[in-house]
Amino acid sequence: MDASICNLGLMEYQVAYDLQTRLVDERRTLESGNDIFLIVEHPSVYTLGRRGGREFLMVSEEFLAEKEIAIVPIERGGVITYHGPGQLVIYPIVHLKQAKMSVAEYVSKLEELMIRLAADVGVIAGRDERNHGVWVGNNKMGSIGIAIRHGVSFHGLALNVNLSLDPFGWINPCGLTGVQMTSLSVAAGEEITMERVLKNLIKHLEDVFPYTFTEISRDQLPA
């Protein structure tokens, strides 16, 4: 099967969300277009999943306003998490039935993708039964939160590459206690650039998912 991949660069969370929902509506019919993987980084923002998560916020909203960090409720699974520059976010718009993937298999593939990206820079990451995503020892490095609308999955994964980890210290990330967040740079003991992580992304995507990918620009996305 063919699929598209589009690198959006740095994009406000709400703008990326609106784009996702438009693409989900476009993808609803089996005959309409291909699955699309959006690559993005976000300015600093906390998002709340279907189970909420304000109770896991450890600082005041006034403090966050001073730091210019917004709080956005959203319909993905999970609770509170943080996005910021230096974090690789991938939003696959995937028609699961057409791709012949169960939800569990799809989530496992997202985890496998992050594990392979980490291995590229010498970081050994793995799964942990406590929470979906990828871990390095007791530290969580990548998160997964998805939503499904009319059989089409959106939202996706967030892999910490070289972002500031301080905002994670102001929440209980994903509602977990006694867990620290880490990044590829911290785990590797050197600065890992986004360009380095993205270098083999398409190869890993094609190894993990049943697609042949074509790179497109934002202007080439379905209208």
Whether the CB-CB separation of 175 and 79 falls below 8 Å is answered with yes
Three-state secondary structure call for residue 54: helix
The C-alpha angle with vertex 183 and arms to 177 and 189, in degrees rounded to 5, equals 125
Residue 6: active-site member: no
Q: What is the DSSP letter of 79?
A: S
Three-state secondary structure call for residue 223: coil
Whether the CB-CB separation of 10 and 39 falls below 8 Å is answered with no
CA torsion angle 126 170 174 158 (round to 10): -60
- Indicate which residue of 174, 187, 192, 201 is catalytic: 174
Catalytic positions, please?
174
